[in-house]
């Protein structure tokens, strides 16, 4: 196929004069930028096509035209490592010199989406000036990094370069064409904040920001510099349409890259432990939702571009398969998890610190508890008030209570309850309610409460006692008070307690895990000790066991399959 652009005649190469934005509008000291217009964006044609601009040179602090948007980074002027950084924009002082260059005014779509002016992107671009190697683009297309950065080629290895001062006309034309095609072509691709998030867990610097357009990687897993997000040291975002993305927070692969300890041995060693864990784990965490996934290719392993990726994919497939077969409850409890499974299992690699503790059964138990308590409470209140038709009530609540009780019974059966008799009695009573519309005896209710409280807090938990008192009080009320409010309070209090426990447990596990990994960072003989899933469980479990927190320990003991 013929080149899309005929190569121009031989042009002097390597004209290394840089753009001089400090001489903007030298011949017209009155030039001033029009005030920023909210809409529509600038035409972004070369300035030569803009209406006459005015530059207020007398207002201290006011930015010259190129910096009309305070929060906006002008790629022409600011790009770490770029060849040209205008002091005018970095230090908004009146411009005394006017330019001979005509450059596009780039207006951000959203001020907040753009990097702050004069705020350096964290490693989003190389510190050292890049030298392009263009051969066919004359350095007048965005293929050329120099051109895309808005700078002249300087010391590059390009061929037939037109991105220089001697070809300014052609260059400006190219700028115009490029901007016409994409008004944001010269905007920074990475919307970044000045903050840098130091992920202590992964010991990796991470820029808070995202790619404006998002990447579209298919084979690199977004873990190679082919990926613009990875190259900019940012996580893929919802803007991305990548496939099999591994560039998300908590990604094992990504973490391994930052740890530089990622190798096949680690993967294979970690497989068994991970599979074992996943069997009883609901600690998956979804990150960004990938737009597309090559499901077929993923599961056939075709996506793996290299051996590492292949191994990883197999590992992930295996763990995912095992997890899927271990429990289908996850589909019920976390709807997004379905998407994760369908769209790409790699997203499920992140393992929550609660993975060992919070399991689908726990959630189901809790839900069952809520349902039962809610209906029992409602029933008790309603009966006390005598305002609800008994038959209607039976019809409405019978099935659901029975279902809840049955569910509870099933979950109890599955986990070998500590006090089987108590639980069975409680569940039987619940079934009785459903079947015979008979209220629970206070004794049974107490048992239920006690048993359910034990599920999450343990017998000695003060929370459990308070909760029990509360529910008892609720059940003993005459129903004339705010029944629904009490019902709600009951449930919410319980939920809050559970969440608090989980937070505490998670904090403890997290602390233990990372403190333990700090102690063994140099153990290259067992790399998994730091990054491996199996070691995480081991370390954190041991740590947890050392904490004298009854409820925490109880949780772990009670819900271990």
Indicate whether 142 belongs to the interface with DNA (CB under 7 A). Answer: yes
Near DNA by CB under 7 A, which window of 83-91, 132-140, 279-287, 417-425? 132-140
Which pair of tokens denotes residue 536? 């995480």
d(CA 68, CA 107): 8
Secondary structure tally for the chain: helices H, strands E: 19, 2
Near DNA by CB under 7 A, which window of 1-9, 79-87, 353-361, 490-498? 1-9
Indicate whether 231 belongs to the interface with DNA (CB under 7 A). Answer: yes
Near DNA by CB under 7 A, which window of 13-21, 219-227, 497-505, 513-521? 219-227
| Shortest separation between residue 326's beta carbon and DNA, angstroms | 32
Indicate whether 1 belongs to the interface with DNA (CB under 7 A). Answer: yes
Near DNA by CB under 7 A, which window of 215-223, 312-320, 431-439, 490-498? 215-223
Member of 59, 110, 133, 481 binding DNA (CB under 7 A): 133
d(CA 228, CA 190): 9
The candidate with the shortest Cα–Cα distance to 65, out of 14, 28, 39, 40, is 28
Indicate whether 522 belongs to the interface with DNA (CB under 7 A). Answer: no
DSSP class of 123:
S
Member of 72, 145, 432, 451 binding DNA (CB under 7 A): 145
DSSP 292-318: ---HHHHHHTTT--SHHHHHHHHHHHH
Let me know: does 190 contact 119? Beta carbons within 8 Å: no
Indicate whether 151 belongs to the interface with DNA (CB under 7 A). Answer: no
Indicate whether 288 belongs to the interface with DNA (CB under 7 A). Answer: no
Pattern 178-197, DNA, x by CB under 7 A: x--xx--x---x--------
In which region does residue 104 sit, left (phi positive, over 0), alpha (psi from -120 to 50) or beta (all else)?
beta
Name residues whose C-beta falls within 8 Å of residue 402's C-beta, 6 or more positions apart in sequence: 430, 431, 434, 435
Look up tokens 């190259």; give the residue.
231
d(CA 287, CA 224): 19
Let me know: does 180 contact 109? Beta carbons within 8 Å: no
Q: What angle in degrees, to the nearest 10, is found between the helix axes of 483-519 and 550-559?
A: 90
Let me know: does 208 contact 235? Beta carbons within 8 Å: no
| Shortest separation between residue 400's beta carbon and DNA, angstroms | 44
Indicate whether 3 belongs to the interface with DNA (CB under 7 A). Answer: yes
Q: Binding residues for DNA, how many (CB under 7 A)? A: 40
d(CA 518, CA 430): 50
- Residue closer to DNA by CB (options 176, 534) is 176
| Shortest separation between residue 181's beta carbon and DNA, angstroms | 5
Let me know: does 247 contact 221? Beta carbons within 8 Å: yes
Give the CA distances from residue 362 to residues 6, 103, 280, 281, 353, in Å, rounded to whole numbers and listed in that order: 68, 61, 11, 11, 15
Member of 13, 116, 224, 291 binding DNA (CB under 7 A): 224
- Residue closer to DNA by CB (options 143, 299) is 143
Member of 84, 105, 144, 354 binding DNA (CB under 7 A): 144
Near DNA by CB under 7 A, which window of 220-228, 319-327, 346-354, 383-391? 220-228
Member of 217, 353, 369, 533 binding DNA (CB under 7 A): 217
Indicate whether 134 belongs to the interface with DNA (CB under 7 A). Answer: yes
Instruction: List residues binding DNA (CB under 7 A).
Output: 1-5, 130, 132-137, 139, 141-145, 148, 178, 181-182, 185, 189, 213, 215-220, 222, 224-228, 231, 305-306
């Amino acid at each position: 196929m013929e080149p899309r652009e005929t190569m121009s005649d031989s042009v002097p190469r390597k004209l290394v004069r840089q753009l001089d934005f400090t001489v903007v509008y030298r011949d017209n000291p009155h030039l001033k930028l029009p005030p920023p217009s909210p809409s529509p964006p600038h035409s972004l044609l070369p300035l030569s096509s803009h209406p006459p601009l005015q530059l207020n040179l007398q207002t201290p602090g006011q930015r010259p035209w190129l910096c009309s948007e305070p929060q906006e980074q002008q790629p022409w002027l600011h790009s770490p490592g770029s060849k040209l950084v205008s002091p005018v924009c970095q230090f908004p002082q009146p411009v005394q010199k006017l330019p001979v260059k005509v450059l596009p005014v780039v207006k951000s779509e959203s001020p907040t989406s753009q990097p702050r002016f004069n705020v350096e992107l964290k490693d989003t671009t190389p510190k050292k000036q890049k030298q392009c190697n263009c051969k066919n683009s004359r350095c007048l297309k965005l293929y050329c990094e120099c051109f895309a950065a808005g700078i002249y080629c300087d010391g590059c290895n390009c061929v037939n370069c037109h991105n220089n001062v001697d070809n300014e006309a052609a260059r400006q034309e190219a700028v115009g064409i490029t901007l016409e095609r994409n008004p944001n072509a010269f905007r920074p691709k990475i919307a970044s904040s000045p903050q840098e998030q130091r992920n202590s867990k992964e010991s990796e610097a991470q820029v808070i920001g995202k790619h404006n357009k998002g990447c579209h990687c298919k084979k690199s897993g977004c873990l190679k510099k082919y990926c613009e997000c990875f190259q900019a040291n940012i996580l893929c975002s919802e803007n991305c349409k990548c496939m099999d993305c591994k560039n998300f927070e908590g990604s094992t692969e990504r973490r391994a890259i930052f740890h530089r300890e990622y190798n096949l041995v680690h993967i294979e060693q970690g497989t068994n432990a991970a599979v074992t864990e996943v069997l009883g784990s609901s600690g998956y965490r979804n990150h960004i939702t990938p737009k597309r996934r090559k499901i077929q290719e993923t599961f056939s392993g075709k996506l793996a571009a290299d051996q590492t990726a292949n191994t990883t994919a197999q590992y992930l497939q295996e763990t995912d398969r095992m997890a899927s077969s271990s429990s289908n409850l996850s589909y019920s409890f976390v709807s997004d998890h379905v998407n994760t499974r369908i769209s790409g299992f790699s997203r499920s690699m992140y393992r929550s610190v609660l993975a060992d503790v919070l399991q689908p059964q726990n959630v189901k138990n809790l839900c069952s508890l809520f349902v039962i308590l809610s209906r029992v409470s409602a029933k008790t209140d309603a009966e006390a008030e005598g305002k609800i038709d008994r038959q209607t009530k039976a019809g409405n609540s019978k099935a659901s209570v029975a279902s809840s009780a049955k569910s509870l019974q099933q979950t109890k059966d599955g986990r070998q309850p500590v006090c089987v008799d108590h639980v069975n009695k409680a569940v039987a009573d619940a079934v009785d309610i459903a079947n015979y519309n008979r209220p629970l005896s206070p004794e049974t209710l107490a048992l239920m409460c006690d048993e359910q409280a034990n599920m999450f807090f343990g017998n000695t938990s003060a929370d459990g006692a308070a909760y029990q008192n509360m529910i008892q009080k609720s059940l003993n009320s005459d129903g004339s008070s705010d029944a629904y409010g009490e019902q709600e309070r009951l449930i919410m209090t319980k939920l809050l307690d559970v969440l608090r426990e989980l937070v505490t447990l998670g904090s403890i596990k997290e602390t233990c895990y990372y403190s333990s990994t700090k102690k063994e960072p140099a153990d290259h003989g067992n790399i998994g000790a730091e990054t491996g899933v199996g070691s995480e469980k081991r370390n954190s479990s041991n740590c947890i066991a050392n904490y004298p927190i009854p409820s925490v320990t109880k949780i772990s003991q009670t819900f271990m399959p």
